[in-house]
Amino acid sequence: MPQHYKKHLKYLNGFIQSPRSIGTLIPSSPTLCKAMIAEMDWQQADLKVAELGAGDGVLTKHLLKAMSEDSKLCAYEINPLFFEDLDHIDDARLHVCKISAEKLDQPFNVIFSCLPFLSLPLRVSLKILQSVMKILQKTGGCFVLFQYTQKMERVLSRYFDWERKLVMKNFPPAYVYRCTPKGISS
Ligand SMILES: C[S@@+](CC[C@H](N)C(=O)[O-])C[C@H]1O[C@@H](n2cnc3c(N)ncnc32)[C@H](O)[C@@H]1O
């Protein structure tokens, strides 16, 4: 079976087992990953990057390609279905964190999220967004996420100033948000 069908099957299985936590039937498209990467200035050396909801590592690989040699990436994922794929990414800059993004507590310069905030329990989404805001207030960094609808905007506006872009070449089309904690411009 071709590799990309196997990947799609994994997401489909994950969705059947826990639809609210996976939030999608297929991985993000290369166009969506590139649109997220384009939100950051990758010239900076020594960045500490977080990725929330890494799945099978589709965005993780794009991040590693963009990052400098001395930067570090912590990829958070809770579904064991994806652990093997993430463990197979052979890059010393990557640390796979098999814990919930609710436990986020390090001084990251930039945080990427693929989490389905709308379908997660509200308590969990708010806890993660508050942690992201507090971390980035200290480091002066930015938060890049995608969502399939604009329904998160009211909640995002509680914590962040943001800009939005629409990426059509994804299933379904997705909005990419670049956010900075309220009161901090970048
Ligand atoms: C929409 S999928 C994104 C997967 C992949 N990054 C992509 O872009 O295709 C969301 C991922 O978030 C993970 N996830 C859900 N809740 C999480 C949490 N609290 N902490 C870490 N990962 C979580 C799910 O298991 C799933 O792999």
**Residue 22: CB within 6 Å of ligand 1?**
yes
The three-state secondary structure class of 69 is coil
Provide the residue type at 185 as one letter: S
Q: What's the rounded Cα separation, in Å, for the pair 130 and 162?
A: 15
Domain boundaries, the chain: 29-181
**Residue 59: CB within 6 Å of ligand 1?**
yes
**Residue 21: CB within 6 Å of ligand 1?**
yes
Nearest to 175 by CA among 39, 84, 50, 42: 39
Residue nearest atom 26 of ligand 1, based on CA coordinates: 22
Q: What is the pLDDT along the chain (186 residues), one digit of tens a residue?
A: 666 667 778 888 878 888 888 888 889 999 999 999 999 999 988 999 999 999 999 999 999 999 999 999 999 999 999 999 999 999 999 999 999 999 999 999 999 999 999 999 999 999 999 999 999 999 999 999 999 999 999 999 999 999 999 999 999 999 999 999 997 655
What is the CA(111)–ligand 1 centre distance, in A? 14
The architecture (CATH level 2) of 29-181 comes to: 3-Layer(aba) Sandwich (3.40)
**Residue 79: CB within 6 Å of ligand 1?**
yes
**Residue 24: CB within 6 Å of ligand 1?**
yes
Element (H, E) at 174: strand 174-181
